[in-house]
Copies of this chain bind each other. A is one copy, B any other.
């Protein structure tokens, strides 16, 4: 790798006024303006590293402020000084002795750490001339391990266990890459079932989804019970008995209510129930899972770090591990989570949508398939069909599958004109 020095960090408060069309609405998030604290690592080369953390509008400025603070730990460093000892670098971000009081490793400061670390990986992959998924696919196991911090997780996953998983994945890797390139990675759509959509719109969008080759459809629930059931029946009747429905309550219920409400939806035969209660309630999810079986339980988009994921797995609280590309500290922490999920035999189905999450997570799922679980069984990446036009390398979705990018980097770079137009509050989109 050529020596590249990071010379500046530029941060943008980027907000899209999606709430005007009820896009992204659910039982809890009623009016999101899909947004991002977006950062650009400027360097002394022609390359830039781009990263973002996804937010819902108000409060994005807090992540911008946190990113501007964290910049002190990266500006002036060479890329190789970071990637040669990635864990040490990441700890400079998470272990700042005063800043960590605001977490540690959760909320605003961890979301922002994720954006910065993802920007480093974008720069790293570009410097190697590869899309991130190919960089991860080809990286020697020892090098991958050196990027993973086993602190606080070595009681369930040792370095040697992780090494064994990564080493075993070499067998058949070339064929899996070929298969991915030819067939794509399976996906599901959330676009048909937002909370704010009318019955007619849901039916129409399900029909359109079927025509486009989708087989897995997510429906937002958590409203009046009769409404949830009526909307669910519309989806089931439209997509037929063999396609899959996933229902998502977005943390709406307490544990007892979640059990009742999930069991009331049994006739829909949901493939999973997502976020039935507080995202912090590991033991609550475990109890719900026991009492709604065989309905499967999914969560993770609000799971704030690897220690929480570790416990969701230990407690047998989930059937589906929904990693998020931004909420934890970027690629490195997700590598650890994906490895832990494999050890427990739980499939990883990333949370996506929002802005940039689809672009991000395709790389992580490819890593899971190529280097960790080596399986596509019961694995689907979330897909939502908006805001992709703002990316230089938007996701390529065909017949309900992600086809992976070949452009170097982490696919997260936003078009300069979009960065300008949707900058908050000065951009043109916010002037009206």
Contacts and interface: CB of A to CB of B under 8 A. Distances in A.
A152 B55 CA distance: 24
Interface string A151-181: 1111100000000000000000000000000
A155 B256 contact: yes
B281 A152 contact: yes
B107 A278 contact: no
A31 B307 contact: no
Number of copies of this chain that the complex holds:
2
A430 interface: no
Contact of A59 (B63, B102, B154): B102
Given A101-B29, A151-B254, A109 B280 contact: no
Which of A33, A63, A251, A281 has the most chain B CB atoms closer than 10 A to its own CB? A281
Contact of A154 (B95, B150, B254): B254
Contacts of A100: 28
Interface string A171-207: 0000000000000000000000000000000000000
Interface in A299-333: 302, 304-305, 307-308, 310-311, 314-315
26 contacts: A28-B97, A29-B101, A30-B97, A31-B98, A32-B97, A32-B101, A55-B101, A59-B69, A59-B101, A59-B102, A62-B62, A62-B108, A63-B102, A104-B279, A106-B107, A106-B304, A107-B109, A152-B255, A152-B281, A152-B284, A153-B254, A280-B305, A280-B308, A281-B307, A283-B314, A284-B307
Interface of A: 28-33, 55-59, 61-63, 65-66, 69, 95-111, 150-155, 251, 254-256, 277-284, 287, 302, 304-305, 307-308, 310-311, 314-315
